[in-house]
Amino acid sequence: MEDPLTLALNLMGTFAFGLSGGILAVRKKMDLFGVLVLSVATGLGGGIMRDIILGHTPPATLSDWRYLAVAGLAGLLVFVWYSRVVQHGRFINAFDAVGLSIFTVTGTTIAINAGLSPAPAALLGMLTGVGGGVLRDILGAEVPLIFRSEVYAVASMLGAIIIIVASQTELSGIPAEIIAAIATFSLRMVSVRRGWRIPIAMPKPDPTC
Amino acid sequence: MEDPLTLALNLMGTFAFGLSGGILAVRKKMDLFGVLVLSVATGLGGGIMRDIILGHTPPATLSDWRYLAVAGLAGLLVFVWYSRVVQHGRFINAFDAVGLSIFTVTGTTIAINAGLSPAPAALLGMLTGVGGGVLRDILGAEVPLIFRSEVYAVASMLGAIIIIVASQTELSGIPAEIIAAIATFSLRMVSVRRGWRIPIAMPKPDPTC
Amino acid sequence: MEDPLTLALNLMGTFAFGLSGGILAVRKKMDLFGVLVLSVATGLGGGIMRDIILGHTPPATLSDWRYLAVAGLAGLLVFVWYSRVVQHGRFINAFDAVGLSIFTVTGTTIAINAGLSPAPAALLGMLTGVGGGVLRDILGAEVPLIFRSEVYAVASMLGAIIIIVASQTELSGIPAEIIAAIATFSLRMVSVRRGWRIPIAMPKPDPTC
């Protein structure tokens, strides 16, 4: 059902998320197996959550063994060459942004095709994009990255909104998906480079904290 | 499929849970986006878990955009007027108890209609009632509130049991649901005001702790 | 659909996992209700995750009330006789390994029958085996045990691989399941007794930690 381009991009995204899962696992001093588990959970998590919520079972990332292989390979690479992998931090950020962009776009498109209305479809697309990372941080006992004041989920939201708007017009399909993915990728990368932050609420001191 | 009264109550419960999610997010110094994410996860989480487990996909709270809108609105209110919102702590507790009551009752009823036997149906009703709050605390990296010695899940269990018992008799439908919801609400509110606690086990000192 | 032997073993595994959930809850000073919740989540979690991912809803462990009863009973026993239960640590480890073995074997078999290819089927079998324990540790705000350098998930993987290999040959069905379960059980028990560990990556000091 997936065209070769989408499949290739999806696998690239899975690989990038797999790397990020493996890196957290090594930092947390997990063993080889823990590294692989966290790589696979991060790489496949978002797509599995999307398919479960839509009732598309078994999930696509489990029906096609290549997703599992790519995520596991990423974990193995991190385990063996950790020091080298983390030296290429900017490279990883770019891969990760590719994954975020692709998963957001394909997740939103699949949700629309499943008959969800615009706002829930956007929400499900974002869950596809950020879900793997949230699972990674929960398993690693960290407050999820998307909550730590970075323009991450916002970039995902931008891509989802573009897909939603396009689906209401004649500009849908591949062109809209490419535009949405580039927009998400660009916003994420620029915000990392510029250190953009989202405002946080500044409550007065609160004794119940 | 939902009658107007049930819909209105469900939306009120979603709003109350959305407030509680937003409040935790602000306390954890999350940005605007994190506040919205936690509001939506708390407001919709219980119902989504219930529908996924029953195979009712896509979940009702995603098919109807109003749930998402109400939960997001609650998060926005907390973000903008945090200090004012937390001043009305008792008011929020009441709203939260309304949500717990309604979600427990509707969750148990839906589980019975899906053919579950009594004990699992009660369990699923309780999951619907407390699930959003558990998700909120996991995402916020806290030990879930229901584990911290309060009469919270017990109130939910009371409501679920009333629905189960009623379903075996002639007294089912709207009257039973109202009685169950009032019982859950009352037990929760009285226990908060009186500071009721549930016993905890008192093990001897254990070196493996 | 379950033969009496499988049912008996499954219930034994549920009981063992229920004990482990209750023990963590007592150590975390949770109240009676928290102990029961954690017992049930640990005992039923793996099977529910498996059935949700495969689209087998409602999950088998909720359709049959005995699973819930056995897990709840385990929680109650821990709450009342905590000191005695933890004295039998070796006994619990054995029970837990029984549960891990059985759930891995039945999970992998069910995944193959649902049409998954070998690697994803093994992954899902392992998720069935270790899922309840992961849920237990997330709810208890601990880094999951499977990440803490023990031969736990590896034992599960061994059992899953045996089932996968057997399914491609004439040696499948009950004999293969028994061999796989014994292999998983033995590897787990021997590794606990001998203190076997899996290597962890030794990265150079990393300023971003």
**pLDDT higher than 50, residue C10:** yes
| Per-residue confidence band for A93, with pLDDT thresholds at 50, 70 and 90 | confident
Give me chain B's average pLDDT, please: 86
Instruction: Report chain C's C-alpha Rg in angstroms.
Output: 17
User: What pLDDT score does C209 carry?
Assistant: 42
According to the per-residue pLDDT averaged within each range, which of B37-51, B82-96, B132-146 is highest?
B37-51
Q: How far is C81 from chain B (nearest CA, A)?
A: 9
Answer whether residue C159 is part of any domain: yes
**pLDDT higher than 60, residue C207:** no
Answer whether residue A205 is part of any domain: no
Q: How far is B171 from chain A (nearest CA, A)?
A: 34
Give me chain A's average pLDDT, please: 86
Name the token pair of A142: 């960290």
User: What pLDDT score does B192 carry?
Assistant: 84
As a whole-number percent, the residues of chain B with pLDDT over 90 amount to 44
- Asked if the Cβ–Cβ distance from A29 to C200 is below 8 Å, we say yes
Q: In this complex, which chains have at least 3 CB pairs below 8 Å with chain C?
A: A, B
- Asked if the Cβ–Cβ distance from A198 to B31 is below 8 Å, we say yes
User: What tens digit of pLDDT does each residue of A113-151 get?
Assistant: 888 989 999 999 999 999 998 899 888 878 787 776 578
Answer whether residue B105 is part of any domain: yes
Q: pTM, whole model, 2 decimals?
A: 0.86
d(CA C35, CA B149): 11
Query: Residue length, chain C?
Result: 209
User: What pLDDT score does A28 carry?
Assistant: 84
- Asked if the Cβ–Cβ distance from C34 to B199 is below 8 Å, we say no
Q: In chain B, whose CA is at the least distance from the CA of A126?
A: B37
User: What pLDDT score does C146 carry?
Assistant: 78
Closest Cβ–Cβ partner in B116, B146, B200 for C29: B200
Q: How far is B29 from chain A (nearest CA, A)?
A: 6
Q: How far is B134 from chain C (nearest CA, A)?
A: 8
**Structural domain of B175:** 4-194
User: What pLDDT score does B46 carry?
Assistant: 93
Answer whether residue B155 is part of any domain: yes
Residues from chain B that touch C48, judged by Cβ atoms under 8 A, are: 53
Return the number of CB contacts < 8 Å for B and C.
Answer: 93
User: What pLDDT score does C138 carry?
Assistant: 86
Interface mutation target, options B116, B147, B154, B157, chain C, most CBs of C under 10 Å: B147
| Per-residue confidence band for B97, with pLDDT thresholds at 50, 70 and 90 | confident
Answer whether residue A203 is part of any domain: no
Ranking A29-38, A90-99, C46-55, C182-191 by mean pLDDT, the lowest is A90-99
Are the C-beta atoms of residues B105 and B125 closer than 8 Å to each other? Answer: yes
- CA-to-CA separations, A202 to A145, B54, B81, B87, in angstroms, rounded: 20, 41, 10, 15
The residue among B71, B177, A185, A35 whose CA lies nearest residue C154 is: A35
Number of structural domains, chain C? 1
**pLDDT higher than 60, residue B186:** yes
User: What pLDDT score does C18 carry?
Assistant: 93
Q: What is the DSSP string of A21-69?
A: HHHHHHHTT-BHHHHHHHHHHHHHHHHHHHHHHHT--S-HHHHSHHHHH
Name the token pair of A91: 């490279």
Residues from chain C that touch B209, judged by Cβ atoms under 8 A, are: 27
**pLDDT higher than 50, residue C101:** yes
Q: In this complex, which chains have at least 3 CB pairs below 8 Å with chain A?
A: B, C
Q: How far is C209 from chain A (nearest CA, A)?
A: 7
Q: In this complex, which chains have at least 3 CB pairs below 8 Å with chain B?
A: A, C
**Residues of chain A in Cβ contact (below 8 Å) with chain C:** 25-35, 37-38, 40, 48, 52, 55, 57-59, 62-63, 65, 68-69, 78-80, 82-83, 86, 89, 138-141
Ranking B129-143, B193-207, C181-195 by mean pLDDT, the lowest is B193-207
Residues from chain B that touch C50, judged by Cβ atoms under 8 A, are: none
Interface mutation target, options B62, B139, B145, chain A, most CBs of A under 10 Å: B62
User: What pLDDT score does C36 carry?
Assistant: 92
- CA-to-CA separations, A172 to A40, A112, A187, in angstroms, rounded: 32, 12, 21
User: What pLDDT score does A205 carry?
Assistant: 53
Q: In chain B, whose CA is at the least distance from the CA of C67?
A: B120
Answer whether residue B209 is part of any domain: no
Answer whether residue A172 is part of any domain: yes
| Per-residue confidence band for C149, with pLDDT thresholds at 50, 70 and 90 | low
**pLDDT higher than 60, residue A152:** yes
Q: What is the dihedral of CA C27, C72, B187, B88, to 10 degrees?
A: 50
